[in-house]
Amino acid sequence: MDTQRDQSAAPAAAPATWRVLLRYMRPSWRWLALGGLLNLTTGAVGLTLPLVARRLIDDLGADRPLTGVLLLMGLLVVVTAGVGPLGEWVLRRTGESIVLTARRRLVSHLLRLRVPALDRAEPGDLMSRVTSDTILLRQVTTDSVIGIVTGSLTVLATATLMGLLDPVLLVVTLGVLVLAGTLIRVVMPRVGRMSKDAQKSVGAMGAALERALGALRTIKASGAEHREEAAVHRSAEESWRASVRAGKWLAIAGHTAELALQVAFFVVLSVGGSRVASGAIDVGTLIAFLMYVFFLVPPLQQLIGAAGQYQVGAAAVARITEAERLPAEPVAPAATLPASGAAPAELEFRDVHFRYGPELPPVHHGISFRVPARGMTAFVGPSGAGKTTVFSLIERFYEPASGSILIDGGDIATWDIPRLRAAIGYVEQDAPVLSGSLRDNLLLGAPEATGEEIERVLRVARLDALVARLPEGLDTLVGHRGTRLSGGERQRVAIARALLRRPRLLLLDEATSQLDAVNEAALRDTIAEIARTTTVLVVAHRLSTVTLADRIVVMDAGVVRAVGTHEELVGADPLYAELAATQFLAASAVTA
């Protein structure tokens, strides 16, 4: 609940990789078991081939008819051809479902991140966790985990059969393999470390790319394309370097098994040859045993590959879990908007202290003011005084360190956040417009609004002429962050969007700063009109807007200096008098 507490609480240790994997795999365990079983069947069928071969050699030696043994071989081939692909498909499908589940979970979480967590995050990096890291989950849950299970079982079964053929030769083979295994165990942790670096660089690349593409106009205007390009290239190269290194260790590990088995082949051939000579085993058994030695290559390579993939997957799991553990707002049912005509809100700040982070200086040093229901309250003060922060606290994007904010006498800290936000219409300082159509933007906060209501807010926000002029009207696409609109048009879209919510409390943060004089004057009157039925808070720099307000709150460096009307304040508060004389007028001159 409390941001300050969130920030100071020591994070609990991240769960172990296998626990996370189990959580993802549990819902699909039936499919995973089926896929694993089909895989095992293919393996088991393959395992019988040497025995069939021995039978063939025996039959040939004894001059018996071959029909039986040939039929058996045909059957085995048919079974392998059918079961092999089916097993693989089942596992693939399951893996993709796990990716889907992981993506849905992560997206649901990310869209509810608390604003302080969002302030510290890089959207591009978070995006790469949804798009890229989750893909690795498929490999680790299906190929890797199933590979480890089926690979070990196949090795075990093969070893058992080898032991049945000749225990002495089995011991010889295992001796060689244990040596190889020790080497591989040294290599695997390196693969894990390198994979983590590689995925981290992919995240850094996403962040660098998002930064560049998100502000490409600014970058062009600053002539900074090369430098941004170099930054993205650098993270791409770092990912390449780390992956190549991981690949090197994986290649070494993978071929260690093959090499070890080749060595084992010659050792078994020599030891086995002498055992055949001494009559301990027959030639058929030795040949079957040697075949099994080579049969060990695929499952052992599968095991090593799976162990490598597990390391790669563990790196991705760590990044996904990290994102899932960022503090988020609790999931609540979608908020319903207040019915039209809902009572305007009464607002009070009581000795509110706030800072954006424990390491940052305080922004509010005990703010107190009261705003009755209805009417317009203007917040004025130099830039950095903490005006926008007042609005952020009302929306509960952040929680105060102490003090309370009350709406209609109730502390908003106890309100359900969606219910609180449903009561508020908020036009942010930089009037964000989302990509999509004008209509999408208007309906963002009021998806059920009727055509009539839309018409009304378009008129109120003086957007009707613009919409009428556009060939596609409300369906015109506005571009990323509304770049196809002018600054003043974006502000009017943001105002219309807020009004469509029929707010009980309307927050306008320099919402008309970019409008031309004619539109500004018209909207000023409209806002004054709205303030008759709604509680309106405005942060304004124009004297014309400020003088219309029923009361003015003068803020400076995180404190409320004075509250009053324009006439009262001009005489009583030197800062206000100065602002009125210089800044308001200058702002009007600059932006008019």
Task: Name the site residues for ligand ADP (rule: CB under 6 A).
Answer: 119, 356, 360, 363, 381, 383-389
Cα dist from 498 to 19, 131, 515, whole Å: 45, 32, 17
Angle at 543 between CA 542 and CA 549, to 5 degrees: 100
Query: Considering the complex, what minimum distance in angstroms separates the CB of residue 555 from ligand ADP?
Result: 7
For 398, which DSSP code?
S
Q: Which listed option, ligand ADP, Mg ion, none, makes contact with residue 284 (CB within 5 to 8 Å by class)?
A: none
Q: Which listed option, ligand ADP, Mg ion, none, makes contact with residue 385 (CB within 5 to 8 Å by class)?
A: ligand ADP
- Binding-site size, Mg ion (CB under 5 A): 2
Query: Considering the complex, what minimum distance in angstroms separates the CB of residue 384 from ligand ADP?
Result: 4
- CA 193/CA 246 separation, integer angstroms: 8
Q: Which residue is nearest to Mg ion (CB)?
A: 388
**3-class state of residue 12 by DSSP:** coil
Binding to Mg ion in span 424-453, by CB under 5 A: 429
Q: Do the Cβ atoms of 377 and 554 come closer than 8 Å?
A: no
Query: Considering the complex, what minimum distance in angstroms separates the CB of residue 387 from ligand ADP?
Result: 3
Read off the tokens for 459.
């008129």
Q: Which of 256, 388, 535, 545 binds Mg ion (CB under 5 A)?
A: 388
Angle at 562 between CA 560 and CA 567, to 5 degrees: 150
The count of other CB atoms within 10 Å of the CB of residue 186 is: 10
Query: Considering the complex, what minimum distance in angstroms separates the CB of residue 380 from Mg ion?
Result: 11
Question: Is residue 142 a contact point for Mg ion (CB under 5 A)?
Answer: no
Q: Do the Cβ atoms of 65 and 75 come closer than 8 Å?
A: no
**Closer to ligand ADP at the Cβ: 54 or 542?**
542
**Closer to ligand ADP at the Cβ: 295 or 398?**
398
The type of residue at 243 is S
**Closer to ligand ADP at the Cβ: 389 or 519?**
389
Read off the tokens for 413.
């800290």
**Closer to ligand ADP at the Cβ: 294 or 356?**
356
**Closer to Mg ion at the Cβ: 103 or 355?**
355
Q: Which listed option, ligand ADP, Mg ion, none, makes contact with residue 580 (CB within 5 to 8 Å by class)?
A: none
For 549, which DSSP code?
S
Query: Considering the complex, what minimum distance in angstroms separates the CB of residue 358 from ligand ADP?
Result: 12
**Closer to Mg ion at the Cβ: 429 or 544?**
429
Query: Considering the complex, what minimum distance in angstroms separates the CB of residue 386 from ligand ADP?
Result: 4
**Closer to ligand ADP at the Cβ: 147 or 381?**
381
Of 458, 359, 259, nearest to 7 by C-alpha is 359
- CA 449/CA 288 separation, integer angstroms: 77
Q: Among the candidate windows 348-356, 384-392, 405-413, 430-438, which touches Mg ion by CB under 5 A? A: 384-392
What HEC string does 247-260 produce?
HHHHHHHHHHHHHH
Long-range contacts at 31-36 (CB < 8 A, ≥ 24 apart): 31/90, 31/93, 31/94, 31/97, 32/91, 32/94, 32/141, 32/142, 32/145, 32/146, 34/90, 35/87, 35/88, 35/90, 35/91, 35/94, 35/142, 35/146, 36/87, 36/91, 36/146, 36/149, 36/150
Query: Considering the complex, what minimum distance in angstroms separates the CB of residue 363 from ligand ADP?
Result: 4
Q: Which listed option, ligand ADP, Mg ion, none, makes contact with residue 356 (CB within 5 to 8 Å by class)?
A: ligand ADP
**Closer to Mg ion at the Cβ: 17 or 388?**
388
Read off the tokens for 498.
């807020």
Q: Which listed option, Mg ion, ligand ADP, none, makes contact with residue 169 (CB within 5 to 8 Å by class)?
A: none
**Closer to ligand ADP at the Cβ: 118 or 417?**
118
Query: Considering the complex, what minimum distance in angstroms separates the CB of residue 509 from Mg ion?
Result: 6
Summarize as ranges the residues that interact with Mg ion (CB under 5 A).
Answer: 388, 429
